[in-house]
Amino acid sequence: MPWTGYTLNDFLLFAPETYQRLFIRYHEAIWPLQIPVVIAMLVIPWLILRRGGVEPRMMRIALPILAVVWVWIGTDFLYQRYGEINWAAVWPAAGFMLQGVLLLATAFAEPEQPASVRVPPAARDAGLLVMSAAVILLPLAAPLSGRPWLSAELVGVTPDATALFTLGLLALKPLRLRLLLLPVPLLWCLFSTLTQIAMDWPDAWILPALAAAAVAATLLPREKVAGR
């Protein structure tokens, strides 16, 4: 068969039902760890935005928290569990572990934000919107699309929601090292979107749309504050 005769479905290594059962078994295995992890994720935007504007120093607290969950998802979910149904999962698993290292390194290696640089309001609002969607919209996408509740994505627990949440957070970072943290979550969103399209999920557009909004906000130039 010529390459033009293939579709994304032909490259899928598992049935959609198998993918859903993967999430269900994962949620059942780690329960009730989801509760404190999601609460920790909710604390991050509060820390950064608690005074109305972006507090760059709070990034030194937020990024290590994210680093831990990226490494955890990479090892426990992607490598040990997803790898059972998809031999190629070893590559995104390595990417998630790398992202954890980069987040931790950036938290302590990045210099203090100059007083003359700030995050533009448009980037701040878009980042907060994407983070909120990762926390609220993605978990609802599964049941609203006819999939079981236990197959839902949760921030800090599963890959899609965590990658999207991270992209939203990067829109709030003032300095250039934020660009170093873009590739891995962006590549995962692309990989996951293609997987969802192959499984004919009606909500496959949500992840790429929100990821694109977060990336656009992250790429906005940072503002120079006059007189500082």
- 224 vs 115, 116, 201, CA distance in Å? 9, 5, 43
Please count the residues of the chain.
228
Question: What is the C-alpha separation between 45 and 38, in angstroms, rounded?
Answer: 12
Question: 70 or 106, which is more confident?
Answer: 70
pLDDT at 163 over 60: yes
Contact (CB, 8 A) for 64 and 107: yes
Greatest alpha-carbon span in the chain: 66
Question: What is the C-alpha separation between 167 and 188, in angstroms, rounded?
Answer: 11
Of 25-34, 37-46, 130-139, 154-163, the range with the lowest mean pLDDT is 37-46
Please list, residue by residue across 203-228, b when 16 or more beta carbons sit within 10 angstroms of its beta carbon and e when fewer do: bbebbbebbebbbebbeeebeeeeee
pLDDT of the residue at 20? 95
pLDDT at 218 over 50: yes
Mean pLDDT of 78-87: 95
Residue 223 DSSP label:
E
Residue 224's DSSP bridge partners are 117
Share of the chain above pLDDT 70, in %: 84
Question: What is the C-alpha separation between 108 and 66, in angstroms, rounded?
Answer: 14
What is the overall mean pLDDT for the chain?
Answer: 87
Give the Cβ contact number of residue 82 at 10 Å: 22
Question: 204 or 226, which is more confident?
Answer: 204
Mean pLDDT of 116-133: 84
3-state helix vs strand vs coil in the chain, percent to 5: 70, 0, 25
pLDDT at 134 over 80: yes
Question: What is the C-alpha separation between 46 and 2, in angstroms, rounded?
Answer: 53
What is the identity of the amino acid at 111? P
Of 105-114, 165-174, 185-194, 197-206, the range with the lowest mean pLDDT is 105-114
- 46 vs 49, 84, 131, 172, CA distance in Å? 5, 37, 11, 12
